[in-house]
């Protein structure tokens, strides 16, 4: 059984008017119960909506976010928190990045730590910020 944690950029890509075919094909092959998002992803999406200027586009995104196809509803029961276990993984990953001379992005490392602490593979199009992390990139067809 494989469990996948979808990075924020994957959620963003799949909700675009014309999502990448490779991503749609990959997602169609997965069972819904194997797809998760992080609480941070919900926060990042919400922040993006709140930072938009007032207007029709923001209103549409607000309705989507709060509605039945928004992230919290679509992934009900599959939104993974940044908890103590993930916090310890985060600390290790951040320290390893510093020790190797390649500091990590704190936010991307939160995603990675939530994935690792929940036995998930990160699904992302952001390969450079997940070096050394178990990832799959269905937008490019690569895995690590």
pLDDT digits (tens, 9 = 90+) for 15-53: 888 999 999 999 999 999 999 999 999 999 999 999 999
Could you read off the pLDDT of 118-134 as tens digits, one per residue? Answer: 999 999 998 888 888 89
Check residues 44 and 1 and name the one with the higher pLDDT. Answer: 44
Residue 8: band (very low, low, confident or very high) from pLDDT cuts 50, 70, 90: very high
User: Is 123 in contact with 13 (CB distance < 8 Å)?
Assistant: no
Report d(CA 137, CA 128) in Å as an integer: 11
Q: What is the dihedral of CA 19, 128, 88, 41, to 10 degrees?
A: -20
């Amino acid at each position: 059984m494989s469990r996948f944690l979808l990075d924020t950029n994957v959620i963003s890509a799949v909700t675009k008017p014309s999502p990448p075919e490779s991503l749609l094909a990959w997602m169609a092959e997965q069972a819904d119960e194997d797809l998760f998002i992080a609480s941070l992803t919900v926060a990042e999406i919400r922040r993006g909506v709140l930072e938009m200027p007032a207007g029709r586009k923001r209103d549409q995104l607000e309705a989507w976010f709060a509605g039945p196809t928004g992230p919290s509803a679509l992934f009900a029961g599959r939104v993974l928190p940044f908890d103590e276990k993930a916090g310890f993984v985060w600390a290790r990953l951040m320290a390893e990045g510093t020790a190797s001379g390649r500091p990590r992005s704190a936010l991307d490392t939160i995603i990675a730590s939530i994935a690792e602490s929940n036995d998930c593979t990160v699904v992302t199009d952001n390969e450079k910020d997940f070096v050394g992390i178990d990832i799959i990139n269905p937008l490019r067809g690569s895995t690590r």
